[in-house]
Structure 1
Amino acid sequence: MRVASALSAKRTDEFAKPGRLVEVRFVKGQSLSLTASRLLALMILAAGGDAWRDTPHRMRKADIRRGHKSNERISDMLEELHRTLFAEDDRSWRGKKATRRFSLIQMSKEEAEDEDGVEAGWIEWQFTPDARKLIQESETYAVLNRQAVLGFRSAYALKLYELGALRIHRRQPVWRCDMPALRAALGIAPDIYKDFAQLRRKVLETAKAEIDQLAHFQVHWKEVRQGRTVVELEFRFEAKDAPAQIGTVDELARHSAGRRPRRDGAVEQLVVAEEPSGPADRVAPTTIDAVVAKVAGALSAKIIGPSPAPAAGFPTGSLRWAGGEEFLAIGRTHGGGWDIDLIADAYRTHMGERLERLSGTKLTRSWQGFCESYVARKGRPG
């Protein structure tokens, strides 16, 4: 907590997350979505050195939305944090080995939107006694970067980033775990990625690509096998050298829209040559115009058809009927394989009369957030 207070006083993007809170594992079958994981990190950042105290903490909604105007998903994230259970090894009253299960948030309040506008909205919360005990008794900590936390697009990458930040400055920056421990730490549901080749491709390689791009360190792993079966993994975290660190700082300052193409090396570089020495060697204006036209044509070729009109309202019937195509596409992308109309019925019930007041971008973001939270609550269909 002293480290957290010191980092908070510096007013930088760095903040400390207690080690025991980083290493706490998810209860089997439960995990936090990416948006809820980000919110929890922002809560730790906002609480700072007072996170262990039995007192409410507060944060502006604008600091959660990252510039978006919609607040609908904040409610879903808070509810997800309330109902997600974590586990830690403990001792029973008889001194026997036991597993203690608990939640991290015991109370939260969210201001309703009023005439002051959404920018004036705040949330208030209080950590549970179990969470405060973990925070107070932690003897280690992970120094995280706020921009990196908000930049991750995979919840697994964010969790592995926290585990790496906790170990990077140790004498042996290594994390060794068996497969059940890996799933519990990252929140990988037991019914997905049962084949290790799929888990490696969908989880580990994706996480490594994001961490190597956004973190101040890189991650590597070694697979330990018994026969052909992977039984353990050994993760090693290596600090980047100075040029790579500068590259990471530059990347965090750039817009996230082109982050994946930059990571995959799919971005074309425009090289400007030095100015020619003589008038005869100067580039003709027609040549410059041709280059600009070529680039503009390549960009416009990627846009298929006109931009869709903003959604006027949520369909009352099946999303497979005319008028529900946009919501159907969002449901297929973020619904985790569940029947889209089943999620839509649950969404209508959850929103009630509020649904009539939503339209356009607010409506589509609310629908996407509900699909993500639905998968987080239910897992994936068998």
Structure 2
Amino acid sequence: MAEPAEFEQQDGADEPQVRSMRVAAALTRKGGDEFVKPGKLVEVRFVKGQSLSLTASRLLALMILTAGGDAWRDTTHRMRKADIRRGHKGNERIVDMLEELHRTLFAEDDTSWRGKRATKRFNLIQASWEEVEDGDRETGWIEWQFTPDARRLIQESQTYAVMNRQAVLGFRSAYALKLYEEGALRLHRRQPVWKVDVVGLRAALGIDLDKYKDFAQLRRKVLTVAKAEIDQLSHFTVEWTETRRGRAVTDIEFRFVPKGAPAQIAAVDELERHSTGRQARREGLVETLVNTDPMISPVEASEPVAGTEVASVLKKVTAALAASDRGRDTANEAWARFPDGPLHFGVTEQAARAIGVQHGGGWDVDVIADAYRKHMGDRLAVLSGKKLERSWKGWCETFANRRGRP
């Protein structure tokens, strides 16, 4: 598809003739969740034995998003700490992520002063500044400057990956995020196939040579996990074939396939849902819940909103009651019965409150408990022990998924 006319406009006389920066500037003006990562930054490989954690990878993506069309310039960029924390109250993790970015080395093929083949090692972040808050304030900004090598790679990039901010922040595997970047880059090039040997794959994804030595482990722990997340959250799916020499896998060919409109809409819907229950939805462990909750109106129940799905374990627990001996699980006294009043005092109340705080998505725990009692009705009187605990936890997750953040 040809680039939109607005992407071809230059922002100033000193703007380099780099398409990736023109597109980045246009997407910044447009707003929304899409942003550009220059191709050479996607393809730069980690130095042997080094890689970025998931949180540091996300921060680097946010830095590139924030810098936009000015990422190539010799200047500082800035971002609010609140845009990085994403709900975490403390800023100590930001310090760890910045320091990790500073010390992580990348590599590229180059030539020495004698014209010989050489490997060049460099950082992407040259300097950073973090505001020191007064007292317990959780406000503030960070500033940073990309290294000359990073800016050079950006200026040399004639191709780029268009990525989605919500998808980047939604991944739970650093390997999934890196493979997502590789796929987004190749789809834009109209070359949806990436053939790489096992050594190159490890370098690209940042997998230590001493980790997952058996390819069966690498397939199970890295590729299968990455594929599941990408297929669920991105605008494309990924498949791969393996080439063997004898019994050993030597090469992998990845194929990135754009999704059709319905599947893309489903991915967008998933990104808008709370992350709680995402793995269960991905693995098909969710079922549509018939509206028996008096708190939900018929109009709400007729619409496909997040939260009309519930972990199948909840349904199985409640359905199994009819066939059970109706006996109470006295082995766990803390869950002998569900409390009738506020979840404040008492062993059971405190245990139920802890689960509600952890899995209730920020909603008032007593509000969740009232809805739970109404939904369960007479069934709650015969539910106890581990079954009650699992049922309550499943309801808290369902409540949060259905209503989103308060």
TM-score normalised by structure 1 residue count: 0.72
SS state of the match for residue 190, structure 1?
A: coil
Give distance in 1, aligned partners of 2:45 and 2:241.
22
Alignment of 1:142 with 2:158, yes or no, is no
Amino acid at match of 1:21: L
Alpha-carbon distance in structure 2 between the residues aligned to 1:140 and 1:296: 50
Shift of 1:115: 5.2
Measured in 2, the distance between the counterparts of 1:65 and 1:7 equals 23
For 2:177, the aligned partner's letter is L
When structure 1 is superposed on structure 2, of 166-175 and 264-273 the one drifting more is 264-273
2:266 aligns with: 247
Three-state SS of the structure 2 residue aligned to 1:55 is coil
Q: Tell me how far 1:94 sits from its aligned partner.
A: 2.1
- Structure 2 residue identity aligned to 1:58: R
Which residue is equivalent to 2:86? 66
Which aligned runs of 4 or more in structure 1 are off by greater than 3 angstroms?
294-299
1:286-314 Cα offsets, whole Å, 9 max, x none, are: xxxxxxxx869759x9x9872798xxxxx
Corresponding letter in the other structure for 2:47: V
Select which of 170, 182, 198 maps to 1:179: 198
- What is aligned with 1:167? 186
Give the AA of the match of 1:238: V
* 1:111-126 mapped onto 2 (5 Å cutoff): 111-114=131-134, 117-118=137-138, 120-126=139-145
Equivalent residues of 2:25, 2:69 under 8 A apart: yes
Tell me which residue corresponds to 1:14.
34
- The whole-number CA distance in structure 1 between the counterparts of 2:140 and 2:219 is 41
CA shift digits 1:261-306 (9 cap, x unpaired): 0000111211459xxxxxxxxxxxxxxxxxxxx869759x9x9872
Higher alpha-carbon Rg: 2
Deviation, 1:114, is 1.7
SS across alignment from 1:130: helix
Matches of 1:260 and 1:5, distance apart in 2:
35
SS in structure 1 of the partner of residue 287 of structure 2: coil
Aligned to 1:258: 277
Residue-by-residue CA offset, 1:48-81 (whole Å, 9 max, x unaligned): 0000111010000000011221111000000000
> Is residue 62 of structure 2 the alignment partner of residue 36 of structure 1?
no
What's the CA shift string for 1:315-362, capped at 9, x where partnerless? Answer: xxxxxxxxxxxxxxxxxxxxxxxxxxxxxxxxxxxxxxxxxxxxxxxx
User: Hey, what does 2:214 align to over in structure 1?
Assistant: 195
- Of the candidates 209, 220, 235, which is equivalent to residue 216 of structure 1? 235
Corresponding residue of 1:156: 175
Q: Which amino acid aligns with 1:7?
A: L
| Same amino acid, percent of matched pairs | 74
Aligned equivalents of 1:185 and 1:10: distance in 2? 31
CA distance in 2, matches of 1:296, 1:206: 26
The CA deviation at 1:169 is 3.0
Root-mean-square deviation (CA), in Å? 2.2
2:129 to 102, 106, 109: 109
Cα separation, 1, equivalents of 2:143 and 2:82: 13
Gaps of 5+ in 2: 1-20, 293-313, 320-328, 336-347, 355-406
Out of 147, 150, 154, the position equivalent to 1:131 is 150
Name the counterpart of 1:290. Answer: none
Question: TM-score, normalized by length of structure 2?
Answer: 0.67
Alignment of 1:260-339 (within 5 A): 260-272=279-291, 306=351
The one-letter amino acid of 1:226's match is: R
How far apart are the structure 1 equivalents of 2:62 and 2:318?
A: 39
Task: Give how far 1:147 is off.
Answer: 0.2
- State the structure with bigger RCO (CA 8 A, min sep 6), 1 or 2: 1
Report the Cα distance in structure 2 between the residues aligned to 1:258 and 1:298, rounded to whole angstroms.
19
Whole-angstrom distance in 1 between the partners of 2:286 and 2:315: 12
Give deviations 1:158-186, integer Å, cap 9, x for gaps. 00000000011333311111111000000
Query: Which residue type is aligned with residue 216 of structure 1?
Result: H
The runs of 5 or more residues in structure 1 that have no matched partner are 274-293, 310-382
CA 47–228 in structure 1, closer or farther in 2 if over 3 Å, else same: same
Q: Secondary structure at the match of 2:277?
A: helix
Query: Secondary structure of the residue that 2:26 maps to in structure 1?
Result: helix
Code of the residue aligned with 1:97 in structure 2: it is R
**What secondary structure does 1:183 align onto?**
helix
